[in-house]
Structure 1
Amino acid sequence: MRAALLRKFGAPLDLAEVTVAPPGPGEVLVRVAASGVCGSDLKAIAGTSPVVTHLPCVLGHESAGTVEAVGPGVASVRPGDAVVVAMNGPCGKCRECVRGRVHLCGGRARMAAIMGLTADGTTRLRAGGEVVRPYIGIGSFAEKAVVGEAMCVKVGKDDPLDLLALTACAVVTGVGAVLNTARVEPGASVLVVGCGGVGLNVVQGAVLAGATTIIAADIAESKLRLAREFGATHTIAADDLADRVGAIVRGGADYAFDVTGVPGVLAAAFAATRPGGTTVMVGSPAADAAVQIPPGLLFGSRRLMGTQGGDANPARDLPLLAALHRAGRLRLDALVSERLPLDAVNDAVRHVKEGGVARSVLVF
């Protein structure tokens, strides 16, 4: 197959021929139909992702496609099935899975996949004799991907895979942060800081939850315009958040979501919540970053939380998102700023880095 390889941190991706071994036990070979380009891919390219420790690597993790072959023991999907490839494949047996917190699964296969390996410590990919690792066990900047069975979530054969690919990361992370992590209730006031691909889905999640005041903050007017299209009731510049939010909602917002990954912004979002309010860190700061929170704000029973991929249960949440899209209650088409072929992967990466797109999607 053809794939875009990261061979050197900070360098453009290299289009190359990659050999794919047949899927092993519990594995599925998926012919990729579409793959979104995410900020996490940019971190991997820059060399700041803690899970990319071996090069070359096939990036990409937000994808959907068609099952081409299955390995021994696979029963939930078969060749020809349309699937969204989830970012994680819970084992269903570990302590967290048994407690229903599958996003925190510590099973061997999932932990290996995070580092780009199968459960037996190998990969199914080679390029000119070199071992190639797929990013978090997916590697969807390629024509095919070998993934764990639990990562394959069936969708309708007539569903638009170029749109449903986005549910695997941007959509489930944003909507899940609202519904699963914060559990926003009807009538609440919500602040969303950072209105890129994930932030717009936090806005959509707030609409689904029944929030009546949804304040979107960003430094780019183009993204604020999009936020209004997706349901924001107010838009503000992303500075002096506490004052700007307080002018709209007396005392501060009930919920704040920081999607920027900037520690100072997270602290400002926290300060813009009312006593008893909740702030969710959706964007991920650098591993060595520190967040400074005035202790006095914590005495107001304010909560600061993190989320991992929207704390999603893929088998439950991805079909729900597909159904909401079919019902016209979840906008996916407006998230796609451009569709590009694999040959233009470096253009897609540049556009995402420049911040001028909600989502660039590679289509095969």
Structure 2
Amino acid sequence: MKAAVLTQFGAPLEVRDVPDPVAGSGEVLVEVLAAGVAPYAAEVFSGKRQYPLVPPVIPGIGGVGRVVQVGPDSTRLRVGDLVWCDSTVRSRDDALTPDITLQGWSSRGEGGARLARYMHDGSFAELMRVPTENVFPLPATAGENPARWAAVTVHAISYGGLLAGGLAAGETLLVSGATGNLGSSAVAVAFALGAGRVIAPGRNQAMLELLADRFGPRLCPVTLTGDEAGDRAAMSVAADCPIDMVIDLLPPSAPSSASRAAAMTVREGGRVVLMGGVGMLGGDDLALPYPWIMRNSITVRGQWMYPRSANVGIIRLIGSGTLDLAPERTTSFSLAAVNDAIAHAAAHGSPFDRTSITPVDD
């Protein structure tokens, strides 16, 4: 098969012939129809983000495909099924605290690194080997535009964060990083889940206007200045009601003060979910005040990726039209043009701007 291979950090991906993967027991072989390209993929492949990928590796974070082969432990999947392949692979020998690797992308700790050495390659290829429990059936309509459905990668992450925070219908949510690719997804998913109001802070006025145009008066944009106290006050005023939950999805380049300003707008008894990259590349710690957390009964929770059940939930939201993908702009590239796709994704990371690779078009 053909695959895009990262041979070393800082080098372009090479499209080459590699051996077909072989699925063993507990695994499924999938023909990849579409794989999303993250806006920060160029930072990963350059080494800037310091992800624990070990070249040579076929990268890629999940994808849409058709089942080619199933293992003996699969009782529902059939060859030819249209499926979503989740990249969040968990070890099977610890139900409470499993090690995790993001197949073809990243991992956590030594256990995750060991798992990554086995489940090494991702979705930038014609075929992909996936654990059986990471394969989820898609509605037949997804086959009409697999590249658009590759956005499940983005929406599942924000959905997982909203599940972790227990967002309830009618609640007010503040999305820190709302003008980014992932933050804007959280805005869309929150409204699909019935949020009463979403506060969207950001510095990019054009992106704030885009969000306001799409979601109407329940979306409250806030232009940030970089002054921590002033920004916190502005976000609170824009909400015009208690903020029940804050989800932080800011990138590594953002200062911790921006995350802190957003987090500290939450009401007494509120929840804060941290999912972004602040501090991953150095910089100050978040440093939320102990007395404020304790005296206001604040729940602060970190969340990396999402539980397996989130895949089913987000597929249902999209399949029912409750989360509408139609307004999203999807640009597709062939596998041979993978480096063009990476450059395009880096230049088009605005809200609802997606980039996909479609290997079967080659």
Shorter-chain TM-score bucket reads 0.7 to 0.9
| Amino acid across the alignment from 2:315 | A
| Amino acid across the alignment from 2:297 | S
Residues 118 and 31 from structure 1, CA distance in 2 versus in 1: closer, same or farther, beyond 3 angstroms? farther
CA distance in 2, matches of 1:42, 1:348: 10
Asked if 1:69 is matched to 2:69, the reply is: yes
Q: Could you tell me how far 1:65 is from its partner in structure 2?
A: 0.4
Higher deviation after alignment, 189-198 or 37-46: 37-46
Higher deviation after alignment, 332-341 or 25-34: 332-341
Per the alignment, residue 10 of structure 1 pairs with 10
Q: Could you tell me how far 1:252 is from its partner in structure 2?
A: 5.6
1:235 aligns with one of 202, 215, 221? 221
- Stretches of structure 2 that go unaligned for 5 or more consecutive residues are none
TM-score by length of 2: 0.81
Deviations 1:185-238, CA, capped at 9 Å, x for gaps: 233211112233321221123213322221112222343244231565211223
Q: Could you tell me how far 1:269 is from its partner in structure 2?
A: 1.3
Per the alignment, residue 357 of structure 2 pairs with 362
Does the 8 Å contact 2:148/2:330 carry over to 1? no
CA distance in 2, matches of 1:60, 1:107: 16
Per the alignment, residue 129 of structure 1 pairs with none
Deviations 1:102-155, CA, capped at 9 Å, x for gaps: xx5348999xx94898969546xxxxxxxxx41xxxx11111111111111112
RMSD: 3.1
CA distance in 1, matches of 2:91, 2:67: 20
Per the alignment, residue 305 of structure 1 pairs with 301
Asked if 1:206 is matched to 2:190, the reply is: yes
Q: Could you tell me how far 1:7 is from its partner in structure 2?
A: 1.7
Residues 121 and 175 from structure 1, CA distance in 2 versus in 1: closer, same or farther, beyond 3 angstroms? closer
Per the alignment, residue 218 of structure 1 pairs with 202
Residues 79 and 16 from structure 1, CA distance in 2 versus in 1: closer, same or farther, beyond 3 angstroms? same
Residues 326 and 121 from structure 1, CA distance in 2 versus in 1: closer, same or farther, beyond 3 angstroms? closer
Q: Could you tell me how far 1:83 is from its partner in structure 2?
A: 0.7
Does the 8 Å contact 1:197/1:335 carry over to 2? no
CA distance in 1, matches of 2:102, 2:222: 44
Higher deviation after alignment, 273-282 or 56-65: 273-282
Percent identical residues: 24
Does the 8 Å contact 1:188/1:212 carry over to 2? yes
Asked if 1:283 is matched to 2:276, the reply is: yes
Asked if 1:270 is matched to 2:251, the reply is: no
Residues 255 and 73 from structure 1, CA distance in 2 versus in 1: closer, same or farther, beyond 3 angstroms? closer
Residues 108 and 278 from structure 1, CA distance in 2 versus in 1: closer, same or farther, beyond 3 angstroms? closer
Deviations 1:30-62, CA, capped at 9 Å, x for gaps: 111111112563453132556534211111113
Does the 8 Å contact 1:36/1:361 carry over to 2? yes
Residues 184 and 72 from structure 1, CA distance in 2 versus in 1: closer, same or farther, beyond 3 angstroms? closer
Does the 8 Å contact 1:109/1:118 carry over to 2? no
Per the alignment, residue 159 of structure 2 pairs with 175
Does the 8 Å contact 1:43/1:49 carry over to 2? yes
- Stretches of structure 1 that go unaligned for 5 or more consecutive residues are 97-103, 124-132
* SS across alignment from 1:204: helix
1:162 aligns with one of 129, 134, 147? 147
Does the 8 Å contact 1:258/1:265 carry over to 2? no
CA distance in 2, matches of 1:270, 1:119: 34
Does the 8 Å contact 2:272/2:301 carry over to 1? yes
* SS across alignment from 1:227: helix
Q: Could you tell me how far 1:329 is from its partner in structure 2?
A: 0.9
Per the alignment, residue 152 of structure 1 pairs with 135
Does the 8 Å contact 2:332/2:358 carry over to 1? yes
CA distance in 1, matches of 2:188, 2:205: 18
CA distance in 2, matches of 1:147, 1:339: 23
Residues 107 and 76 from structure 1, CA distance in 2 versus in 1: closer, same or farther, beyond 3 angstroms? farther
TM-score by length of 1: 0.81
CA distance in 2, matches of 1:158, 1:237: 39
May I ask how many residue pairs the two structures share in their alignment?
338
CA distance in 1, matches of 2:113, 2:20: 14
Per the alignment, residue 328 of structure 2 pairs with 335
CA distance in 1, matches of 2:41, 2:246: 25
Q: Could you tell me how far 1:295 is from its partner in structure 2?
A: 3.2
Per the alignment, residue 193 of structure 1 pairs with 176
* SS across alignment from 1:184: coil
